[in-house]
């Protein structure tokens, strides 16, 4: 057995921005694969990604990889894993398993065998434990990892208000990256809801660490507390932009719902970005570009899936497109929707990026230059 490194789980379809982020964080051996990004490293590197990455969903520390053709083989090899090198005897763990295209095909049986290996090493296994050992057996190749994240990374820890069908922070960061946002541009969201795009853009511009307000599972692993301290604080993205970003407000969110605006403002206060963002109640017809050079308009409107009736949305998209075309010349626009017909109803020249899995719904970022 060897040390297979770490694996950064991505939102399916947003592997490319995560790969770029992993390289920016100084990881070596970075390789994008469907569903995520593999890289060299151990617990310190995993801690760094948990703290600083904006596009990752979670970070897995690989602890073993071997072939297992039958349960007896899985049982034997699980007992050879050096569990105590990464897991503390005073912290219980739970085991989850997924078996695909393998001779071992019963998930529960795989859980039992790996649990036996943990218990043989003097570790406690409990179904409700917060720390998770993940077992994946695919084509008879068994990969065992420890989830170093815990609660998924889109839960930054400071966003309490959530609107209907919210855009997750990890997705918002990925879409902003695809729009070419580097912390310097003005960002406008005409249908901001709880303010996710606006808040992510502001945090990126200010160089704020996304994991600053929360804890992580790795802190309960062997060396976990030291790993957090050793995660190089020099990896603040766009940190040099902080002073300039504070100089003026340039991240704007609008929504027809007054409750959403109040919630977004409260989220901004908790996130520490209230002085560079502005949220206001308003309809699409009231939308106007802020002073300054053209920037980015990015919006996640209803698309008749979880919110809205499709037939009634064509007028909304048409109105949005007309306002943007008339008032936002020179701006970049990104519209996120699962419905190409609705995107075309804007009347704007937009091109669709690859599909992204948004909680089971395939959505696209439709981009254009106004």
Q: What tens digit of pLDDT does each residue of 203-228 get?
A: 999 999 999 989 999 999 999 988 88
Whether residue 30 contacts residue 38, with contact meaning beta carbons closer than 8 Å, is answered with: yes
Q: Is residue 119 located within the same domain as residue 186?
A: no
The two three-digit tokens of residue 156, written as one number = 């930054």
Q: Considering the domain boundaries, does residue 86 fall inside one?
A: yes
User: For residue 314, with 0-12 CB atoms within 10 Å meaning exposed, 13-18 middle and 19 or more buried, which class applies?
Assistant: middle
Percentage of the chain beyond pLDDT 90 is: 84
Residue 283 has pLDDT above 90, yes or no: yes
Q: Are residues 194 and 328 in the same domain?
A: yes
Each residue's pLDDT tens digit, 17-69: 999 999 999 999 999 999 999 999 999 999 999 999 999 999 999 999 999 99
Reply yes or no on whether the pLDDT at 187 is more than 70.
Answer: yes
CA distance 314 to 346: 8
Do both 189 and 326 map to the same domain? Answer: yes
- The pLDDT value given to residue 249: 73
Q: How confident is the model at residue 246 (pLDDT cuts 50, 70, 90)?
A: low
87 found inside a domain:
yes
Any idea what the CATH number is for the domain that residue 70 is in? 3.30.2130.30
CATH number of the domain at 357, please: 3.40.50.150
pLDDT at 251 over 60: yes
Residue 213 domain-assigned (yes or no) = no
From 147, 180, 195, the end of a domain falls on: 147
| 337-360 residue pLDDT tens | 999 999 999 999 999 999 999 888
Q: Is residue 231 part of a domain?
A: no
Residue 228 lies in a domain: no
Per-residue model confidence as pLDDT tens digits over 76-117: 999 999 999 999 999 999 999 999 999 999 999 999 999 999
Residue 140 and residue 247 share a domain: no
* pLDDT value at residue 351: 97
Q: Which domain holds residue 36?
A: 6-147
- Has residue 153 been placed in a domain? no
Domain end: 95, 117, 147, which one?
147
Higher pLDDT, 297 or 243: 297
Is residue 188 domain-resident?
Answer: yes
70-75: long-range contacts (C-beta < 8 A, 24 or more apart)? Answer: 70/103, 70/104, 71/104, 71/109, 71/110, 71/113, 74/104, 74/110, 74/113, 74/114, 74/137, 74/142, 75/113, 75/116, 75/117
On the question of pLDDT at 244 being above 60, the answer is no
pLDDT recorded at residue 63? 96
Number of helices and strands (H, E) in the chain?
11, 15
Residues 33, 95: one domain?
yes
Structural domain count of the chain: 2
On whether both 188 and 104 belong to a single domain, the answer is no
């Amino acid at each position: 057995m060897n040390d297979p490194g770490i694996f950064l789980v991505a939102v399916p379809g947003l592997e490319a921005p995560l790969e770029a982020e992993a390289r920016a964080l100084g990881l070596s051996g970075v390789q994008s694969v469907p569903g995520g990004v593999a890289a060299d490293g151990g617990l310190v590197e995993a801690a760094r990604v948990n703290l600083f990455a904006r596009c990752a969903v979670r970070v897995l520390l690989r602890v073993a990889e071997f072939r297992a053709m039958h349960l007896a083989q899985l049982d034997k090899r699980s007992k050879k894993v050096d569990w105590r090198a990464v897991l503390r005897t005073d912290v219980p763990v739970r085991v989850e398993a997924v078996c695909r295209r393998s001779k071992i095909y019963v998930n529960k049986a795989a859980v039992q065998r790996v649990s036996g290996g943990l218990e043989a090493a003097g570790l406690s296994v409990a179904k409700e434990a917060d720390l998770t050992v993940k077992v994946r057996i695919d084509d008879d190749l068994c990969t065992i990892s420890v989830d170093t994240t815990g609660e998924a990374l889109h839960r930054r820890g400071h966003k309490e208000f959530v609107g209907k069908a919210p855009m997750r922070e990890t997705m918002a960061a990925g879409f902003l990256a695809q729009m070419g946002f580097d912390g310097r541009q003005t960002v406008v969201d005409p249908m901001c809801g709880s303010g996710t795009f606006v808040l992510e853009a502001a945090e990126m511009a200010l160089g704020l660490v996304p994991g600053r307000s929360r804890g992580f599972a790795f802190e309960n692993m062997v060396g976990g507390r030291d790993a957090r301290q050793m995660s190089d604080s020099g990896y603040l993205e766009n940190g040099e932009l902080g002073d300039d970003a504070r100089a003026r407000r340039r991240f704007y969110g609008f929504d027809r719902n007054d409750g959403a605006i109040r919630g977004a403002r409260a989220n901004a206060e908790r996130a520490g970005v209230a002085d560079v963002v502005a949220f206001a109640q308003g309809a699409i017809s009231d939308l106007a570009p802020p002073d300054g050079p053209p920037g980015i308009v990015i919006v996640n409107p209803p698309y008749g899936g979880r919110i809205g009736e499709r037939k009634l949305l064509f007028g909304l998209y048409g109105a949005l497109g007309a306002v943007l075309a008339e008032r936002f010349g020179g701006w970049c626009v990104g519209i996120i929707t699962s419905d190409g017909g609705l995107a075309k109803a804007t009347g704007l020249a937009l091109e669709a990026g690859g599909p992204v899995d948004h909680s089971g719904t395939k959505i696209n970022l439709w981009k254009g230059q106004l």
